[in-house]
Amino acid sequence: MTELATWTDYAYQLAKQAGEKILTYYQDSESITADYKADQSPITVADQAAHEIIANGLAEYVLDHQGAAPLLSEEGRQIPFLERQQWSRYWCVDPLDGTKEFLARNDEFTVNIALIVNHQPVLGVVYVPAQRAGYLAWRGGGAYACDQQGQQKRIVSKIPPAQPLRVLVSRHHGLDYLQPWLVRLGPTELISQGSALKFCTIASGQADLLLRLSPTSEWDNAAGQCILEEAGGEVFSFEGLPLTYNRAGTLEQPHFIAVGDKDSDWKRFFPSSFR
């Protein structure tokens, strides 16, 4: 087993632990109230409890002779770019991605853990607590779906796009802003889904395309991007550039497109967007 594979397995087990903790709150979620951050996104005690489990587990995990890697978590401390720009690698974590899904009790929330090296995710874990299952990948090792028993099955997204195209959209953003883009795609089947689960749905061949034109942060995308790319897909901005990490003071990422078959000519649908 390679180092990356070993690190990925550790991250997956840690995500499972956090997921089990989240489920203890989920089973009694009617009594949970949400606080709201400055950007009006919700946060609950489940987010914070999952963060503590992951932060403690990663702090004590020595990767190699360079030691442990620093942590960037949605629920952790705000880290100024002057500090972050010194990092050549770091953990990028969303301990409960899809808090709105958690509060809505629709099961579509995840635990996301990625390791970023030189501005790119080299391993990714997306665990789905309500299913007690998840997805993982590491650079050069492929992408896998993991069932409740821990059995891993390799997944491949690179299949000819369906007709009509199966397009993933967010549950919590209206469709009006997407209409100009959907018209370009022709006949489509829209699939509403929350959290980083959207990346995994494409990675497992159950959808073809994700258009993301609403705000996201690094921890929303890193793990899912790694899984999708290792399954044969691609993630790129509307300028045709790959998503990168820890390159600027802001943690917000550009609007992007995620596709299952990287060899299809997706850019023909958006000629004015690519230079």
- Residue 34 dihedral angles phi and psi, to the nearest 5°: -105, 140
Binding site listing for Mg(2+): 74, 94, 96-97, 220
Binding site listing for substrate: 74, 96-99, 220
| 131 burial level (CB within 10 Å; 0-12, 13-18, 19+) | middle
Binding site listing: 74, 94, 96-99, 220
Across the chain, where does the E strand assignment appear? 35-36, 42-43, 71-73, 89-97, 110-117, 120-128, 133-138, 142-146, 152-155, 165-170, 188-193, 209-212, 216-217, 234-237, 252-253, 256-259
Across 108-172, where does the E strand assignment appear? 110-117, 120-128, 133-138, 142-146, 152-155, 165-170
- Residue 60 dihedral angles phi and psi, to the nearest 5°: -95, 0
